[in-house]
Amino acid sequence: MGAAVAPRLGSEFVPRLNEGDLLIRATMAPSISLEKAKTTITVFERQLMEDFPEVTQVVSRIGRGEVGAHADPVNNAEIFVALKPQEEWVSADTLDGLYAAMSKRFEDFPGAKFNFTQPIAAAVDELLTGTKAELAAKLFGDDLDVLVEKAREIEQVMGTVRGAQDVQRDQIGGTPQLRITLDRAAIARYGLNVSDIHDTLSVAVGGSEAGQVFEGIRRFDIYVRLKKEARNEMEVIRQLILENASGQRIPLEELASIEEVVGPRQITRENNQRFITIQTNVRDRDIGSFVAEADAAIAEQVDLPPGYFLKWGGQFELQQQANKRLMIVVPITLALVFIMLYANFGSLRNALLIMLNIPLALVGGIVGLWLTGQSLSVPASIGFIALFGIALENGLVLVSYLNELVRDGVSVAEASVRAACARLRAVIMTAVTTALGLFPLLFASGAGSEVQRPLATVVVGGLVTATILTLLVIPALYQWFADKPADIGETR
């Protein structure tokens, strides 16, 4: 039964927490001004308060300074939304339902795209994986134009996969720029150096320190540069005057070609490779099955040029890393347990019989997750590890008593029945007390209960099957795994 149910389980890093508040990330046009961004977000706040009575307070932050871990331009905003208690909600009964309602309501909001998440979840996603959503597909390649085109195709395909919400790709272009290409031949003909051009542009646009002003003990630097209006005019930049050694005055347009272009706003790299991110949140399904379906759809519908490849990040990346560690830690732990059992009993058969409890306990944990509609996650994996310890302990108690009866001259068949009856109370009490201690986690509804519930479900469900099978299967199999009475006596 466990083998039939296991493939139906979904997989995820950790279950989504209900933090009680929302964080909405807004992405606007790259060239938007601070004043226009403020107006756009104010309109969004007003509509959010009017359309969703669950919202009690909205606070927005436009952009993010360069002092913190992650800087954000003024076309990005974070809207913190305080909500009423869940029993007072009107628009939806669950958190995912409220996400879906808000996402649908503002799907066509002019001038901005929104990503609905929660404050702690967003901080974890950004700090650990560098993404601003639960899941991100990172497209790696060299040419920015190709990256943008293929990212657009991937975004369209990803949006058709069931469970995809708030699908967005990074805006790496759209910033107006002034491109100045130096004419080195003309510079040499006028007797100037390239550094002269650089210095002139640096002073005109960035500014140069010309002195200091003293007010008591305080000092203030004096910077000289063009006025703001002049710095934003291409024609003013064209007419910047440079003077050579002979006193000849040459405008900048004679020494370089100057043109307005729309260039990249940002270029992100990982392991020295350029990439663009297509991010999404996953609703009403697990991340593991979503990635499998989306990856297959992208491979079928998007033709990536040679040298371009896709890598999944976000919580899926954390899940894969955790699975790799568990694939190493768990076998090593079980091997050490087996060695200790063999050292205790001096019997390979007895050690194998006790280790048989592990797959028996595994069945109940898997079925418990499936019946409660939960996915296989890191908390569930930790629950399996705890369950293995309890199951091995019960098996150790039972096999030790079986060996003791056989050593005293009781037949194997009779010893199996007597041991199961004699140790019934001990095994049942171990399982019942453990299950009673975990029942509060099964039915808890407070903050953090989403992470505790998979662990408790696995342990309680596994204890049910492990207890029954320990008392029935191990005694029945003991006749094939038991050593001769003389060998048992020698090991003692």
pLDDT along the chain (492 residues), means of 10: 68 76 85 87 91 90 72 84 86 83 86 84 73 83 88 90 84 78 89 88 85 87 84 84 87 87 78 86 83 89 89 82 85 88 83 82 83 83 84 82 82 82 81 82 72 85 82 80 55 43
In terms of domains, do 134 and 282 share one?
yes
Please name the residue that has the structure tokens 């706003």.
Answer: 265
In terms of domains, do 52 and 159 share one?
yes
Q: Is 160 helix (H, G, I), strand (E, B) or coil?
A: coil
> Does some domain include residue 153?
yes
In terms of domains, do 152 and 196 share one?
no
Q: HSE-up of 344 (CA within 13 Å, CB side)?
A: 15
> Does some domain include residue 254?
yes
If 0-12 CB within 10 Å is exposed, 13-18 middle and 19+ buried, where does residue 169 land? buried
Cα distance between residue 20 and residue 26, in whole Å = 20
| pLDDT on residue 490 | 46
Reported for 300-309, long-range contacts at CB under 8 A and 24+ positions apart, including other chains, are: 301/153, 301/157, 302/150, 302/153, 302/154, 302/157, 304/139, 304/141, 304/150, 305/141, 305/146, 305/150, 307/141, 307/142, 308/139, 308/140, 308/141, 308/146, 308/147, 308/150, 309/139, 309/140, 309/141
In terms of domains, do 190 and 65 share one?
no
> Does some domain include residue 332?
no
| pLDDT on residue 491 | 44
> Does some domain include residue 272?
no
Please name the residues in contact with 348: beta carbons below 8 A apart, sequence gap of 6 or more. Answer: 342
Please name the residues in contact with 291: beta carbons below 8 A apart, sequence gap of 6 or more. Answer: 135, 312, 316
In terms of domains, do 480 and 396 share one?
yes
In terms of domains, do 165 and 197 share one?
no
| Confidence (pTM) | 0.71
> Does some domain include residue 355?
yes
Radius of gyration of the chain (CA): 33
CB 194 within 8 A of CB 184: yes
Among 451, 472, 401, 461, which residue's Cα sits nearest to residue 431? 461
Q: CA dist 352 to 338, 361, 393, 396, 400, Å?
A: 8, 15, 14, 11, 13
> Does some domain include residue 372?
yes
In terms of domains, do 179 and 138 share one?
no
Domain holding 486, by residue range, is 346-491
In terms of domains, do 364 and 474 share one?
yes
In terms of domains, do 361 and 474 share one?
yes
CB 62 within 8 A of CB 45: no
CB 5 within 8 A of CB 367: yes
* 243: number of Cβ within 10 Å: 13
| pLDDT on residue 492 | 42
In terms of domains, do 432 and 402 share one?
yes
What's the N-to-C CA distance of the chain in angstroms? Answer: 39
In terms of domains, do 308 and 179 share one?
no
Token pair for 30: 């790259």
CATH of the domain at 160: 3.30.70.1430
Q: CA dist 273 to 31, 168, 334, Å?
A: 26, 21, 40
* 55: number of Cβ within 10 Å: 19
Cα distance between residue 25 and residue 38, in whole Å = 14
